[in-house]
Amino acid sequence: MTTSHQVLTDCTLCYHSCGTRVTIEDGKAVKVEGLENHPINHGELCPKGEAALTHIYSPDRIKTPLKKVDGKFVPISWDQALDEIAAKLLDLKEKFGPSVLGVFSGSIGVENLEMAQLTQRFKAAFGSPNFFSVESICYRMRIRTRQITFGKYPTEELDSNLYILWGHNPDASDFPLKLAMEKNLAKGAKLVVIDPRRIPLADQADMYLKIRPGTDGAMAMAMLHVIIKEDLVDHDFIEKNTFGYDKLVPHIEPFTPEWAEEITWVPADKIRELARQFATTKGASIYQGTCTQDQTAGGTQNSRVFSVLQIVTGNINVPGGWVISPRPHFGNVGLNVEGDPLGMDKYPLFIEVWGRKSPYGVITMVPEAIPDKLKAFYVVGGNPLVSMADSNAFREAFRRLDLLVVHDMFMTETAKEAHYVLPACSHLEKWGLAYTYNVCHCLPYLMLRKKCIEPVGESWSEWKLFTELAKRLGLGDQFPWESEEDLIRFELGPSGLTFEQLLEENPEGLYYGEKKYEIRDGLFATPTGKIEIYSDAMEKVGANPLPVYIEPERSPRKSDKAYLEKYPLILSTGHRNYYYVHSQFRDVDALKKEAPGPVAEMGPETGKRYGLTTNDDIIIETNRGQVRMKVALDESVAEGCIFVPHGWSGEANANLLTDTDCRESILGYPDVKSLMCSVRKA
């Protein structure tokens, strides 16, 4: 007789963490549906969520620990794997000190809180400060820049009166925002799209602006110029809540719309029109693409000027603007450790602001640090050889490591280079907290991620692996939780919520706090207690304390003649695909049917110049390497540019084209959105 029950949990296949209803029959998950009353997805699921079980029960999953012997992987026991890994780590620690270990987490710590926090705890218990994650290329720049400006992190809401999609394509990457926009545009909300590719949503937009990749900061500075010169600012808000506006007024004089038009390709009259619309709309938001403005030469300053645009128009802590929402208080799983992570000397603001230190190292510096500073590397739930800039540099560096361990569900390109590969659990096979909603969608909401099924094969969760490995390293007392459930109880401790409450009373999740649209005393945790338009923290590291435009290092305006003759096309990598998340899910037939392979995109006139037609195989080349993939000629794409999707492996890996030496100067992010390349028919 079949036994069946349902579990309400979240989907952890991307950072949105949509609510799901999972049906279990005889211990096996047989159906995943959207959770109807969940505030993010309202019962809907994207194709990735719908295909979750195909992914989880894939025959390609790693089901036993593997060791590389004579260039080939052979199955071994968990005991042998952990004993040998521990012995190697202890040997390296004794010879060179604990900081030779670097760890990488594929989670930034919101969509998979336990993965990131336990990885941080492990490296600290070992004695190393070197924790790396996707924070080094994704999202942290905007968080850090807003922290520098506001002392906290205000977030865009799902509902707005004016959506400015600035390099952001919800159809491909932001399923919850897409649902919210459908509702609000029907009610009369306005939409502006700024993108060098005319995304489908541009057809519904009140304005579409085709911008040169990497020049967003110039256009934003020109908007700021118009708003201040035409006195469209919210003087009351500025006077009560900001520091440095008096210095900003003369600073914006040179940044006219005509100056910006020459740089950005966007007509000056359109910049003026948008500036006026934005300044006269209460409840307007800039929705910054996940990496589009970060991964350029001016990334930090781009985020700064976006913040200042929201500030001078008074679109802070108002419905539809950027809002500071209450954060839950969690038990701190991390540990303090002596020493600074890699990058503190060159990019101190990435790691410390006003004495508040974060555990993150700068991953673009990892290849150059191996083997002198890093000799062992531990990768949890990530694929840096595909997802990080300059795959060639990372591959060459990883081959110089004394020890590379990868904990993953699948044999990724990174795993293929490892000495040991350890089988990991999916999100349905372990306990956790679903906490992404506040950081990404400004909803003070929390859900318990339930263990729905037993681990597939010999898969282990991060809690189990680190707990067992710590025992062999003599660090067992640093992982005191007897079970995953105990770990979650510890995390929830200071929040006022309990494990049992989220499991039994509120299995669908709950609002743990109330969002208030007010400016109260002490809201802005900066040294001045105000929003810092003029940033002393930026000035102390030699950066401009006021927002400014920085031209991409390799661009048509900055590169020398010889370089441009060799690489004449603007290259932008990394745009999203609705059916995949970075390098994940490419083993799922239903998704492969929708997006079977990588396709570069360029304008028809640009393609004609190189004798290309749609579906031709092409070679794209930069100073770092080359890729091969098909091309699509599309009039929606700005001429003179080529857009290369990321996440594909082998000869189609976009990060074979990018360069870790081409970095943003303040936080060390790689520039992968505005490089130069050549193209030829294969």
Nearest 5°: CA angle at 670, between 665 and 674?
A: 100
Provide the β-strand partners of residue 641.
570
The 10s digit of each residue's pLDDT in 447-472 is 999 999 999 999 999 999 999 999 99
Nearest 5°: CA angle at 436, between 432 and 439?
A: 145
- Residue 482, Cβ density class (10 Å: 0-12 exposed, 13-18 middle, ≥19 buried): exposed
- Spell out a b/e string for 80-115, using b for 16 or more CB atoms within 10 Å of the CB, else e: ebbebbbebbeebbeebebbbbbbbbbbbbbbbbbb
User: pLDDT band at 108, cuts 50/70/90?
Assistant: low
DSSP 237: H
Give the list of residues 6+ apart from residue 399 with CB closer than 8 angstroms, or none: 417
**Helix, coil or strand: residue 591:** helix
Percentage, residues of the chain above pLDDT 70: 100
Give the list of residues 6+ apart from residue 655 with CB closer than 8 angstroms, or none: 386, 387, 388, 389, 390, 391, 573, 646, 672
Q: CA-CA distance, 497 to 152, in Å (whole number)?
A: 23
First-last CA distance in the chain: 59
Model confidence at 583: pLDDT above 90 = no
What is the per-residue pLDDT for 290?
A: 76
Q: CA-CA distance, 362 to 136, in Å (whole number)?
A: 6
Helix, strand, coil distribution of the chain in percent, nearest 5: 35, 20, 45
The 10s digit of each residue's pLDDT in 588-606 is 999 999 999 999 999 999 9
Model confidence at 571: pLDDT above 70 = yes
- Spell out a b/e string for 506-539, using b for 16 or more CB atoms within 10 Å of the CB, else e: bbbbeebeebeeeeeeebbebeeebbbbbbebbe
For every residue of 523-583, DSSP letters joined together read -S-STTSSEESS-HHHHHTTS-SS------SSSTTTS-HHHHHH--EEEEE----TT-BTT
Give Rg (Cα) of the chain: 24
Q: What are the CB-based long-range contacts (under 8 Å, 24+) for 474-483?
A: 475/125, 475/126, 478/121, 478/125, 478/335, 479/121, 479/125
Model pTM?
Answer: 0.95
Percentage, residues of the chain above pLDDT 90: 91
Model confidence at 1: pLDDT above 80 = no
Mean pLDDT across the stretch 553-572?
95
User: pLDDT band at 109, cuts 50/70/90?
Assistant: low
DSSP 328: P
What is the per-residue pLDDT for 584?
A: 87
The 10s digit of each residue's pLDDT in 401-440 is 999 999 999 999 999 999 999 999 999 999 999 988 988 8
Backbone angles phi, psi at 533, to 5 degrees: -65, -45
Closest CA to 554 of 301, 364, 297: 297
Dmax (CA) for the chain in angstroms is 78
User: pLDDT band at 292, cuts 50/70/90?
Assistant: confident
Mean pLDDT across the stretch 115-134?
95
Model confidence at 27: pLDDT above 90 = yes
Q: CA-CA distance, 329 to 491, in Å (whole number)?
A: 8
Q: CA-CA distance, 445 to 223, in Å (whole number)?
A: 34
Determine contact, residues 543/666, Cβ cutoff 8 Å: yes
Model confidence at 136: pLDDT above 90 = no
Most confident of 80-89, 516-525, 575-584: 80-89
**H/E element, 209:** strand 207-209
Q: CA-CA distance, 261 to 598, in Å (whole number)?
A: 33
Determine contact, residues 275/226, Cβ cutoff 8 Å: yes
Mean pLDDT across the stretch 105-118?
84
Closest CA to 498 of 446, 437, 451: 446
What is the per-residue pLDDT for 400?
A: 98
What is the per-residue pLDDT for 472?
A: 98
* Among 186-190, 286-290, 383-387, the least confident range: 286-290
> Ramachandran region of residue 340, left (φ > 0), alpha (ψ -120 to 50) or beta?
beta
Model confidence at 274: pLDDT above 70 = yes
Model confidence at 629: pLDDT above 80 = yes
Report the half-sphere exposure of 641 (CA within 13 A, side-chain side).
25
Determine contact, residues 20/32, Cβ cutoff 8 Å: yes
For every residue of 310-323, DSSP letters joined together read HHHTT-BSSTTSEE
Model confidence at 135: pLDDT above 90 = no
Using CA atoms of 324, 325, 326, 332 in order, give the dihedral in degrees to the nearest 10: -80
What is the per-residue pLDDT for 540?
A: 96
